[in-house]
Structure 1
Amino acid sequence: MVTKLILFDTYLYQLFFLFVMEPKNLTQMLTDKNTFSFSKLKYKYGEENFSEYLTILSDFFYRKVPLENFSGQKFVYSPAQVQIVSQSLKQLMRNYSGEKYGMKAMEDEIISTLSIEKIDTKRESVREILNGKAPQSQNEEKAYGIKRGLDFISDPANQITVENLRKLYQITINDFLEPDVKLPPDLLYRNDAVYVVGSSGHSVHSGLAVEKLPAYINQLIRFIDDDHDEIDQVLKSAMIHYDFAYIHPYFDGNGRMARLLQLWYLVQKGYTSALFIPFSLFINQNKTGYYKSFKLISENQTETGIPDMTPFLHFFTQNVFSQFENYNVNEDLLMRFKTVLEAGQMTKKEQELFQFVLSHYGTNEFSTKDLEKDYRNVAYATVRTFVLKFEEMGLLKSHKYGARVKYSIKE
């Protein structure tokens, strides 16, 4: 009887708020194009409507996250406003290659994660670095650092700990920094204040105070280790990305580290195909929206006093996770490959070559000369036999350009 009364009271409580605020206004505010910009919502719908809207969000939409802002308040987010596309999860759970990461995907990842920070690198240079060539310039060193970071996080034995986070920073960023910003060997994090400067030249964010860094990073590690918080793991990866960038524990390279940490978390949770999808490529395609989502969280907090991560999570669901199905190989091709493999219709070398094609070229075209050069330990005759046989089996498709022929996986 007591349970029924509580449920009834809760129902009346919900009705009370929905009655105070017109349902039409609530729907309009939830679906408004500026729904994540609270200052614009307040201006458009008025102080009273906005106040009621915020009460409804707080009572019925928000869910707390066990991470704190710099004032010690728990972050929140609105699960109803950040739906995960189911197809994205299927893509992340697949691992169709014997490689530790997709070469084509990580080529895009390296170029894009550096481009986000206005570091220009040539595609050919990145490709050569991924194939083992030593860096020849400062920008190539930065690309090489990301490659080393990918090698580190792709190893499941490298768990996410405070010590391994420091190792990742060392091999990815710190080894290639100028002496005045390099982290000394005895320090885990920066030892002075840091400011993020916007395009206008003004500070747009101040990193966490140095004395609080150990406690906040430890809090983030506990959040990463907690498998019982009932937060969708793919969505949680974006929360980890945001929190690390928000804390800003280093003088330089925080953005690159935040993006690597997101991938690292997904790999640790079994989503190994995260390393076959270039997250940063999709971020870079809407870099303005990426930075705007960071900014909205702090602007909204100034407006409401509530640290709400939803704008950043919404950016990821709309601009990153939703793009996976357009990047990866389709299910039909993988099933055809599996059928042919199980029927014993290909040699081990042919299997390795096809896995290499998936990893190295993705959906891009390649020539027999490209495959011979990139795969290295293979004779041209073997490559030629491979492409003809796999085209006949419906796994590859040829493209004629006059006397030249290129191939791609058959979608």
Structure 2
Amino acid sequence: MAKVHKPVDFNVLLNQYGMEVFDLARVFKAVDDKGRYLHWDEFRRYPSQGVAKEAAWAAIKLARACGSKSLELRSECGSPFFLYTTDFCDAVIHAIEQLTSRLGGAAASSAHYRDNAKYLVDALMMEEAISSAQLEGASTTRKIAKDMLAKERAPLNDDERMILNNYQLMKHAKFNKDESLSIALICEFQSIATAGVDEEDARPGHIREDDGIFVGGPGDEVVHQPPHASLLPARLEALCQFANERHDGQEGRPFIHPVIKAIILHFMMGYEHPFRDGNGRTARCLFYWFMLKSGYWPFEYISISALLKEAPMQYGRSYIYTQTDAFDLTYFVIYQLRVVERAMSAFMRHFESKRLEALELMTWVQALQLSDGLNYRQGHFLKKVLQHPGRIFTPKELTHDYDISENTARNDLEKWVSMKVLLKVQEGKAFLYIAREDAEAHLKKIAGAR
């Protein structure tokens, strides 16, 4: 990553250029004519004939100051973080609202539609766990990783352990979505993210007590020195208070859209860097936790890590832009919203393809003419059985794939045994269920006997 050019302080420029700044403010706005919220590092490269670059930059900063809001959160030096919401931000937030509404919204979280949607996209939670680990350096292939998660087998190495940890981390975020944020919960998230991984001085669940940590760039460049360890308890407490406060615009309270707030929590965890290891995974977990807490349930399945992994330099640059321009969080928020926008598009393409598969599946199930009607879950499992004769199934696998109790899974399996679709065999104290070679023939007999 090339070195970022830090802008000159606004007050210095104002003293230097005076009224010229106010004159230029008629032309230079918070965003350019293409809607871009440029950092000085970018703006300085664009031509502006007959105009002093730094004076034009001061005009842009003036426009942003008029439309931005300061947050309760502060940098280590005491300067407040602030935010300017652009039209692009509003557009992506609107798209998120539409997506949630289209898929049933929070009100449909226990409805039949939500259940079917969940079966369609459940594998995407695996995708986030795998991508998040690969972003941190894990190199296990997706096929091996998915097999490990689906069969719940023990990880064989640190890379697989990191993926399993991330999967459990996502589930823990969902489980705790109704809880208030606390330092203890943040430590729980980090502890799950780093459990059992052989990282020197990782200390799962423990806030760092020293300052020998930094975020590095190319070569030996230090791009971020996190706050002193002695300040972390108070700073994390302030972060929790920010997360738990209502920013609803009522009774004099400021308004911060929940999506923006989730992104701010992501940024701040990276900024504070309170742990020796696992800060990035914990930061992404906080984003998902707050999105689920705020009712955006599709984000249980929308993977941002896969896209962050594609452009880690841009991810890091968005942090640097914020820190080098008077702690303007807008740069990071816009970058993250771009990632979210692309992630939603990928999600909907996947969802639509799975929805079409589901329609074909239910048509196929109806064509079987079984006396007992099948729900989507049972139809999906039956097709898997018929496509893989000789494969072994267990109740635990079904509980994982369909988010059902082990008792429900066992009842489903026993149903297929009675219909001679599965063969039940005992191995020690456990029972295994094997897909029969003649399963389809038995189903045809049942349908013909109606």
TM-score band w.r.t. shorter chain:
0.7 to 0.9
Distance 1:236 1:367 in 2: 47
8 Å Cα contact 2:321/2:331 also seen in 1: yes
Secondary structure, aligned partner of 2:215: strand
Q: What residue identity is the alignment partner of 2:226? A: G
Report the TM-score when normalising by structure 2.
Answer: 0.67
Higher relative contact order (CA 8 A, sep 6+): 1
Gaps of 5+ in 2: 1-18, 104-108, 248-253, 402-408, 423-434, 444-450
Which residue of 2 is the match for residue 67 of structure 1? 73
Larger Rg, first or second structure (1 or 2) = 2
Following superposition, the deviation at residue 287 of structure 1 comes to 2.6
Distance 2:99 2:35 in 1: 30
Q: What residue identity is the alignment partner of 2:187? A: R
Distance 1:32 1:270 in 2: 29
1:139 to 159, 178, 196: 159
Distance 1:307 1:348 in 2: 59
Alignment pair present for 1:202 and 2:208: no
Secondary structure, aligned partner of 1:31: coil
Which residue of 2 is the match for residue 246 of structure 1? 271
**Deviations, residues 195-237 of structure 1 (Å, cap 9, x unaligned):** 1112323221111110111111111111111223421111211
8 Å Cα contact 1:286/1:319 also seen in 2: no
Q: What residue identity is the alignment partner of 1:368? A: Q
Which residue of 1 is the match for residue 115 of structure 2? 97
Following TM superposition, the consecutive aligned residue runs of length 4 or more in structure 1 with deviations greater than 6 angstroms are: 16-19, 344-348, 354-357, 382-385
Which residue of 1 is the match for residue 34 of structure 2? 31
8 Å Cα contact 1:174/1:182 also seen in 2: no
Following superposition, the deviation at residue 75 of structure 1 comes to 0.8
Alignment pair present for 1:257 and 2:275: no
Which residue of 1 is the match for residue 14 of structure 2? none
Distance 1:166 1:249 in 2: 9
**Cα 1:198–1:348, aligned 2, differ >3 Å: closer, same or farther?**
farther
* Structure 1 segment 34-113 matched on structure 2, within 5 A: 35-42=37-44, 44=46, 45=48, 46-59=53-66, 61-81=67-87, 82-85=89-92, 86-92=94-100, 94=103, 96-97=114-115, 102-113=121-132
8 Å Cα contact 1:102/1:277 also seen in 2: no
Distance 1:117 1:154 in 2: 22
Measured on the aligned residues, the alpha-carbon RMSD in Å equals 3.9
**Cα 1:57–1:89, aligned 2, differ >3 Å: closer, same or farther?**
same
Secondary structure, aligned partner of 2:261: helix
Distance 1:27 1:353 in 2: 55
Sequence identity percentage:
17
Q: What residue identity is the alignment partner of 1:248? A: H
Which residue of 2 is the match for residue 191 of structure 1? 210
8 Å Cα contact 2:169/2:193 also seen in 1: yes
Which residue of 1 is the match for residue 231 of structure 2? 212
Gaps of 5+ in 1: 1-15, 358-364, 389-411
Q: What residue identity is the alignment partner of 1:97? A: D
Distance 1:70 1:264 in 2: 25
Distance 2:167 2:187 in 1: 16
**Deviations, residues 346-376 of structure 1 (Å, cap 9, x unaligned):** 977523246889xxxxxxx998339986648
8 Å Cα contact 2:25/2:63 also seen in 1: no
Q: What residue identity is the alignment partner of 1:169? A: Q
* Structure 1 segment 360-399 matched on structure 2, within 5 A: 368-369=387-388, 375=398, 378=413, 379=416, 381=421
1:222 to 232, 237, 241: 241
Which residue of 2 is the match for residue 307 of structure 1? 327
8 Å Cα contact 2:190/2:279 also seen in 1: no
8 Å Cα contact 2:73/2:80 also seen in 1: yes
Secondary structure, aligned partner of 1:108: helix
Following superposition, the deviation at residue 326 of structure 1 comes to 3.4
Q: What residue identity is the alignment partner of 1:143? A: I
Distance 1:171 1:181 in 2: 15
Alignment pair present for 1:115 and 2:134: yes
Q: What residue identity is the alignment partner of 2:186? A: L
Secondary structure, aligned partner of 1:227: coil
1:274 to 274, 299, 315: 299
**Cα 1:22–1:200, aligned 2, differ >3 Å: closer, same or farther?**
same
Q: Which moved more, 1:96-105 or 1:113-122?
A: 96-105
Q: Which moved more, 1:236-245 or 1:104-113?
A: 104-113
Distance 2:207 2:338 in 1: 35
Q: Which moved more, 1:365-374 or 1:137-146?
A: 365-374
Q: What is the total number of aligned residue pairs between the two structures?
A: 351
8 Å Cα contact 2:304/2:339 also seen in 1: no
Following superposition, the deviation at residue 330 of structure 1 comes to 4.3
Which residue of 1 is the match for residue 194 of structure 2? 173
**Deviations, residues 381-407 of structure 1 (Å, cap 9, x unaligned):** 59988xx9xxxxxxxxxxxxxxxxxxx
